[in-house]
């Protein structure tokens, strides 16, 4: 689980008389109330007990918050607050900012919030404003506005300094999978580290046999069935396991945070497809036990991998998935999203329990010249957010599509199987209330990324922070 770090500063007042006679009576208890409220939201709340009443005290507290790694700043105007003090604190913090007040008629918080907010707008500092009593209900402004903003802001901060491992090069002529490494550095703070994908093959030969045997026993003992044939042999499966373990080792050695792997056609034609990596890198488990998901996009899709990493971060670590925008069915409001060989194994049940997920997965022969296995499954039903970074004339956009994965009716699924022929792939059947004509005209890739749950608001916020234009389909 990825934890967001929030710093809260509740402003005092320099005037001794006003502080003692009025402001402290409201500000001190509401400071404690704010801290307790946000702690209940599974946030790491960075705070000090005292309320700053001078510029020097503001500077001291800000420096403390920064030393603790704060990612989001909550400027709490619980009563009247001097706008100049608010601006000083916000500018010195230099973080995504929430200006928080309350609507109690006796606190004078509204005038403090509007004064501080107006001053921040004058100096051009982006922020959001919230004027509300603390409320735990699902429909509260905190659930709908504040917490999505915190998750997005934390993700934008965490994204800076990430390194994508780019294994291979452009796959199958897919231009939309390429990226401009210097644009990424400027716009997202993300570096691109190129690795020849033959490093996976070279290092696979050096993997200790005990590690291979351990994962083979774990995998074949837990999946529903292994359908061995002339293309899916024990040796081919072990080769894929070696490739997965080699990729894990490269990621650890080089400090990669997420990856895009070419695979096709070189590895899928002449060695083995990298489907086990696509299934288990972005899952929270493998033969070694629980682990953090590592976003991985197939066919060297850099923008797809970056989209996955953003989805993982804004949801606090939920495993992301990747697939083809393969077919749309406007009549049934459905999108069919398979992948060329694997989808994160977590999506077999959406549970962190490896046994439950793998018991819903078959290993089937890959329909590629080199053979090997594909982990076949239907993506489990539930809410999902589809998203995709794409570019038009160098400018980034993000398509955002909230939807629901459904279990298709028998006839619908049989028709889909017949249309695909023998080459059956793991697939998400997504019910989406969208303008399909707009989707076809606008969508900028053949690939699409996704994550469980609805994080539409978080994605809108992070787009604003990253200079990306959100496109709600």
What the chain holds in terms of domains, given with CATH numbers, is 5-159 (3.40.50.1070), 163-472 (3.20.14.10)
pLDDT score of 419: 82
pLDDT score of 454: 97
Per-residue pLDDT of 10-37, as tens digits, reads 999 999 999 999 999 999 999 999 999 9
pLDDT score of 135: 85
Look up residue 297 and give its two tokens.
Answer: 């996009």
Q: Which long-range contacts (CB under 8 A, 24 or more apart) does 433-442 make?
A: 433/333, 433/403, 434/333, 434/401, 434/403, 434/473, 435/473, 436/328, 436/330, 438/473, 439/328, 439/399, 439/401, 439/473, 440/328, 442/399, 442/471, 442/473
Q: List the one residue out of 295, 261, 247 whose CA is nearest residue 171.
A: 261
Render 150-168 in DSSP notation, one character per residue.
Answer: HHHHHHHHHHTT-EEEEES
Identify the three-state secondary structure at position 393. Answer: coil
pLDDT score of 18: 92
pLDDT score of 423: 66
Average pLDDT, 10 consecutive residues per value, the chain (473 residues): 95 95 94 96 96 98 98 97 97 98 93 97 97 88 96 97 96 92 97 97 97 98 96 97 98 98 96 97 97 97 98 98 92 91 96 96 94 95 98 97 93 83 84 93 96 98 98 93
Instruction: Give the DSSP H or E segment for 226.
Output: strand 225-226
């Amino acid at each position: 689980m990825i934890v967001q770090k929030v710093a809260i500063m509740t402003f005092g007042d320099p005037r001794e008389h006003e502080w003692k006679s009025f402001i402290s009576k409201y500000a001190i208890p509401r400071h404690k109330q704010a801290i307790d409220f946000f702690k209940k939201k599974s946030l790491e709340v960075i705070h000090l007990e005292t309320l700053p009443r001078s510029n020097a005290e503001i500077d001291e507290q800000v420096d403390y918050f920064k030393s603790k790694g704060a990612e989001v700043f909550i400027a709490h105007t619980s009563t009247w607050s001097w706008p100049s003090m608010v601006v000083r604190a916000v500018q010195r913090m230099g973080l995504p900012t929430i200006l928080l007040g309350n609507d109690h008629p006796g606190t004078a918080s509204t005038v403090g919030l509007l004064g501080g907010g107006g001053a921040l707008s004058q100096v051009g500092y982006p922020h959001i404003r919230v004027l509300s009593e603390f409320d735990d209900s699902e429909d509260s402004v905190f659930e709908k506005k504040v917490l999505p903003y915190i998750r997005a802001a934390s993700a934008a901060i965490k994204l800076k300094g990430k390194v994508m491992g780019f294994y291979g090069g452009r796959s199958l002529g897919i231009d939309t999978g390429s990226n401009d490494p210097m644009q990424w550095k400027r716009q997202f703070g993300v570096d691109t580290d190129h690795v020849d994908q033959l490093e996976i093959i070279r290092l696979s030969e050096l993997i200790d046999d005990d590690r291979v045997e351990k994962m083979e026993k774990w995998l074949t003992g837990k999946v529903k069935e292994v359908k061995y044939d002339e293309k899916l042999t024990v040796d081919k499966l072990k080769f894929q396991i070696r490739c997965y373990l080699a990729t894990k080792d490269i990621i650890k050695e080089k400090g990669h945070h997420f990856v895009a792997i070419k695979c096709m056609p070189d590895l899928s034609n002449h060695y083995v497809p990298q489907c086990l990596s696509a299934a288990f890198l972005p899952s929270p488990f493998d033969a070694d036990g629980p682990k953090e998901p590592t976003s991985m996009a197939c066919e060297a899709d850099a923008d797809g991998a970056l989209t996955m990493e953003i989805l993982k971060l804004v949801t606090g670590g939920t495993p992301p998935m990747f697939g083809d925008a393969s077919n749309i069915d406007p009549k049934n409001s459905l999108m069919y999203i398979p992948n060329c060989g694997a989808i994160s194994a977590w999506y077999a049940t959406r549970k962190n329990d490896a046994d439950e997920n793998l018991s819903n997965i078959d290993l089937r022969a890959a329909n590629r010249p080199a053979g090997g296995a594909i982990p076949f499954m239907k993506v489990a039903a539930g809410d999902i957010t589809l998203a995709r970074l794409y570019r038009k004339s160098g400018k980034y956009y993000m398509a955002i599509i909230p939807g629901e994965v459904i279990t298709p009716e028998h006839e619908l699924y049989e028709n889909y199987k017949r249309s695909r022929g023998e080459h059956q792939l793991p697939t998400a059947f997504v019910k989406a209330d969208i303008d399909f004509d707009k989707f076809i005209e606008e969508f900028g890739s053949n690939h699409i990324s996704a994550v469980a749950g609805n994080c539409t608001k978080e994605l809108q916020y992070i787009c604003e922070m990253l200079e990306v234009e959100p496109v709600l389909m």
